Amino acid sequence: MNASDNQIVETTREPMPSRRTVLGAGGAIGLAMLDTKSVFAQGADGANTIRVGFISPRTGPLASFGETDGYVLDLARKSLAAGLTVGSKKYAVEILDRDTQSDPARASQLAKALIDSSKIDLMLTTSAPETVNPVADACEAAGVPCLATIVPWESFYFGRGAKPGAPSPFKWTYVFSFGVAQFAKSYASQWSELPTNKRVAALYPNDADGNAIREHLAPELEKAGFTVVAAGPYEDGTTDYSAQISKFKAAKCDIFNTFPIPPDFAAFWRQAAQQGLTKSIKIAQTAKTGLFPSSITALGPLGFNLSSACYWHKNFPYKSPLTGVTSLALAEGYEKAANKQWTQQLGASMSLLDAGFEALKASSDPKNKASVAKALSTLKTTTMVGKVDFTSGPVANASTTPLIGTQWIKAAPGSKYKLDYVITENACDRNVPVAAKLRPYA
């Protein structure tokens, strides 16, 4: 090994936002961020440097998903400061993180730029089909290995053109995440904790998540003994939900379930309160929204006792193989550094980095894209969210991870934060400790 092999790449990351701004005509709140360039240490040439792209939404309507990514990326970079050893060779590592601004078209453009200009060896991407799917499509077209998370695997797989029962059309793109089976198992377990009439008011949008959930989850809920009262697909950005609310009230639904983008849920739930629906709902179960303390706090008292299914919690019994940090230490470290309450995306983004770098280490050559893709296809490891195993399906390009039933409750007097996020069921992973019983919403 020559001296240049030990030279490690420094990176200039997208800086922390300095001010808030309004993005787009829809009034979505975002953060103004500057473009960045990579700074290479002298002697760290391409042959000895592994370049990893990391694309997530840091601003725009999906910004709550990316709020903690800067902290997680800092931990990863510190752990990789001395390089990554693959086989007998040490490589410098550069992580190039990019903000989609919650725009699918921008996500695709960023991916193509990282592929064509930055010559990345591996792409990592997270947080909803609006981010993950266009990034994965760009990677699939260019022959670049890509690993994704925090998108229902059906939205990733079928939403990009794969057909049930047919061979996988994807060679380069992989996802580890929850799916319909995990939602159904967690929901059936959580909803059995309270007496209800089992009528579920289902508000699913006309987008990749909503369409996949409508097609695959609703039938599973019916099989489990629930009656799904579907309001029909609606467009993202809808402002008037009177028709849907009227339908749910007429059906006397005790349970509410939805998969919207965060601004849409806030609009719906406030209207539901004004029109009297929330008074009769015993279980209000959200997904894709209601995952983070900032969005729940913004609802005021309407946020108390909302239920969700978490993909990571600070009480998960797992640690990061990349950084060695435990789940609890990750949450506490973030709260101290950011002076904000921890969010479940902390563990998810860390797990994406965990799995991605485990695949690079398992490859015969991290600079060979086919070798990295093969390593992804057979990857078996334990990350901060639990087991990742691409050898056991459900399809060739997906590995499922658990969902755990949770609820937002009013924090105890004297708490630093207004909300506490408690685990109420663990049917998908019995290693995760249950801390509380589900409370009725109304």
pTM: 0.86
Query: So what's the architecture of 3-178+315-400 in CATH?
Result: 3-Layer(aba) Sandwich (3.40)
Q: Give residue limits of the domains in the chain.
A: 3-178+315-400, 181-310+403-425
Distance of alpha carbon 40 from alpha carbon 118, whole angstroms: 12
Q: Output the six-digit token pair for 220.
A: 């599973």
Fold of domain 181-310+403-425: Rossmann fold (3.40.50)
Amino acid 45: pLDDT: 65
Give just the sign of the alpha carbon dihedral 95, 400, 358, 162.
negative
Amino acid 121: pLDDT: 98
Amino acid 165: pLDDT: 92
Distance of alpha carbon 355 from alpha carbon 350, whole angstroms: 9
Q: Residue 416: CB partners within 8 Å, gap ≥ 6? A: 341
Of 99, 102, 103, 126, nearest to 114 by C-alpha is 99
Amino acid 30: pLDDT: 33
Do you know the residue count of the chain?
Answer: 442
Amino acid 109: pLDDT: 98
Distance of alpha carbon 334 from alpha carbon 88, whole angstroms: 34
Amino acid 433: pLDDT: 97
For β-strands 49-56 and 84-86, DSSP reports them as unpaired
Q: Residue 344: CB partners within 8 Å, gap ≥ 6? A: 291, 292, 310, 311, 312, 313, 421
Do 3-178+315-400 and 181-310+403-425 have matching folds? yes
Q: pLDDT tens string for the chain (442 positions)?
A: 333 333 333 333 444 333 333 333 333 323 233 333 333 333 346 789 999 999 999 999 999 999 999 999 999 999 999 999 999 999 999 999 999 999 999 999 999 999 999 999 999 999 999 999 999 999 999 999 999 999 999 999 999 999 999 999 999 999 999 999 999 999 999 999 999 999 999 999 999 889 888 988 999 999 999 999 999 999 999 999 999 999 999 999 999 999 998 899 999 999 999 999 999 999 999 998 889 999 899 999 999 999 999 999 999 999 999 999 999 999 999 999 999 999 999 999 999 999 999 999 999 999 999 999 999 999 999 999 999 999 998 999 999 999 999 999 999 999 999 999 999 999 999 999 999 999 999 8
Long-range interactions of 84-88: CB distance < 8 A, separation 24+: 84/50, 84/357, 84/360, 84/361, 84/366, 85/361, 86/360, 86/361, 86/363, 86/365, 86/366, 87/364
Amino acid 161: pLDDT: 95
Amino acid 22: pLDDT: 31
Amino acid 288: pLDDT: 87
Q: How many distinct helices (H) and strands (E) make up the chain?
A: 12, 18
What are the pLDDT digits (tens) for 344-387?
Answer: 999 999 999 999 999 999 999 999 999 999 999 999 999 999 99
Q: Residue 287: CB partners within 8 Å, gap ≥ 6? A: 183, 213, 257, 258, 259, 308, 309
Distance of alpha carbon 259 from alpha carbon 264, whole angstroms: 10
